[in-house]
C-alpha cells in the first residue's frame, strides 16, 4: 500500500534540517524580490508551496504542474538540487565578471595564414557588456585577425606575485571571434573608455590610422580558480570540471 504523504512531517523536516535549501528554492522559484534572511515552508499543496519569508512576508513557489501526493517529496528534492546549482552558477559567473574587470590587457593566441601560432597581447576594455581590444597593424595579431583567424583564444592570467603558487595561478580563457569596428561616434565613446580605464597613453595613439578597435565575442571558455576548481563556461551556464571529464580543448 502506498505510504500517505505526511505534509507536516515534510514541512518540519525541511524547515529544521534543510533551511538553506528552502531559502535557495524561494530565491530561484518564487517572485519574491527582496533580501531573504529566513524562509520557512508554511503550506504545501499539489500545485506548490507557500513560504513565510523573514517571518512576516509571504511567497509562493509553484510546482511545474499539478502533482500527486506521492510525487511531492521528489519534486522538492529536485527543486532544491536545481536551485543550489543555479546559485553556484551565479556565484561563479559573478566571480568571473569581477576577475575580468581587473584587467587592462589580455593575452591573445591567434593563427597566421600559414598556420603559425602567435601569442601576443593587447589593451583590453569591457564596456556596456561588450569586450574590446585596441591593436596596431604592426602586431602579428592584426594580420591574423584581419585575414581570417575566425576563431582564436584569449587569456586573462593572474600575476605571479598575487598567486598562492605559480602552478595555481587564477586564469580565464575564452574562445572568441573578432569584429573590426568603424571609426564612428561609438568608436570615440569606447576610446574615451580606454583612456579612462586603461591609461592616458591611449590618447597619443587613438587617432593614428594604423590602430584599430576590435570587438571580441566570447563563444565559450574556462575559468580556473585553484586545484579542483576548474569550470567550463558556455551560454551563461557553468559546468564543474572533474578528473573524469574529457572536455579539454
Is there a domain that residue 94 lies in? no
Position 201 confidence tier, pLDDT thresholds 50, 70, 90: very high
| 44 has pLDDT over 50 | yes
* Mean pLDDT of the residues in the chain: 90
Mean pLDDT of the region 35-42: 94
Task: Mark which of 64, 89, 114 sits at the end of a domain.
Answer: 89
Is there a domain that residue 61 lies in? yes
| 81 has pLDDT over 80 | yes
Position 113 confidence tier, pLDDT thresholds 50, 70, 90: confident
| 1 has pLDDT over 50 | no
By the 8 A CB rule, do 104 and 199 touch?
yes
Is there a domain that residue 2 lies in? no
pLDDT for 2: 55
| 143 has pLDDT over 80 | yes
By the 8 A CB rule, do 14 and 22 touch?
yes
Task: Mark which of 49, 68, 89 sits at the end of a domain.
Answer: 89
pLDDT for 151: 84
| 249 has pLDDT over 60 | no
| Structural domains of the chain, count | 2
Mean pLDDT of the region 174-200: 95
17-21, 50-54, 76-80, 228-232: which range is least confident on average? 228-232
Same domain, 55 and 110: no
| 247 has pLDDT over 70 | no
Residue 171 β-bridge partners: 157, 224
Cβ contacts of 96-100, under 8 Å, gap ≥ 24? 96/172, 96/223, 96/233, 99/156, 99/170, 99/172, 99/223, 100/126, 100/156, 100/172
Give the separation between CA 24 and CA 41, rounded to whole angstroms. Answer: 12
Q: 73 is in which domain, residue-wise?
A: 7-89
Is there a domain that residue 176 lies in? yes
pLDDT for 37: 92
Task: Mark which of 60, 89, 118 sits at the end of a domain.
Answer: 89
| 96 has pLDDT over 90 | yes
By the 8 A CB rule, do 131 and 86 touch?
no
| 243 has pLDDT over 70 | no
Mean pLDDT of the region 94-120: 93
User: Could you say which DSSP state residue 168 is in?
Assistant: G
Percentage helix, strand, coil for the chain under 3-state DSSP, each rounded to 5: 35, 35, 30
| 220 has pLDDT over 90 | yes
| End-to-end Cα, the chain, rounded Å | 52
Same domain, 70 and 111: no
Amino acid at each position: 500500500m502506498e505510504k500517505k504523504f505526511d505534509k507536516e512531517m515534510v514541512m518540519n523536516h525541511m524547515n529544521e534540517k534543510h533551511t538553506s535549501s528552502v531559502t535557495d528554492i524561494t530565491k530561484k522559484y518564487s517572485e519574491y524580490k527582496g533580501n531573504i534572511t529566513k524562509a520557512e515552508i508554511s503550506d504545501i499543496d499539489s500545485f506548490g508551496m507557500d513560504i513565510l519569508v523573514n517571518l512576516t512576508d509571504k511567497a509562493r513557489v509553484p510546482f511545474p504542474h499539478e502533482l500527486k501526493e506521492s510525487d511531492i517529496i521528489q519534486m522538492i528534492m529536485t527543486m532544491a538540487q536545481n536551485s543550489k546549482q543555479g546559485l553556484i552558477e551565479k556565484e561563479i559567473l559573478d566571480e568571473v565578471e569581477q576577475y575580468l574587470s581587473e584587467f587592462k590587457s589580455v593575452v591573445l593566441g591567434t593563427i597566421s595564414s600559414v598556420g603559425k601560432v602567435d601569442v601576443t597581447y593587447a589593451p583590453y576594455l569591457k564596456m556596456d557588456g561588450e569586450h574590446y581590444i585596441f591593436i596596431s597593424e604592426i602586431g602579428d595579431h592584426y594580420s591574423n585577425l584581419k585575414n581570417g583567424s575566425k576563431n582564436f583564444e584569449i587569456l586573462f592570467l593572474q600575476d605571479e606575485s598575487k598567486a598562492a603558487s605559480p602552478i595555481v595561478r587564477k586564469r580565464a580563457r575564452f574562445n572568441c571571434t573578432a569584429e573590426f569596428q568603424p571609426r564612428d561616434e561609438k568608436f570615440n565613446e569606447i576610446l574615451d573608455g580606454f583612456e579612462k580605464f586603461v591609461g592616458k597613453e591611449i590618447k597619443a595613439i587613438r587617432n593614428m590610422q594604423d590602430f584599430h578597435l576590435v570587438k571580441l565575442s566570447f563563444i565559450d571558455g574556462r575559468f580556473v580558480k585553484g586545484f579542483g576548481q576548474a569550470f567550463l563556461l558556455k551560454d551563461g551556464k557553468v559546468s564543474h570540471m572533474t578528473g573524469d571529464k574529457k572536455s579539454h580543448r
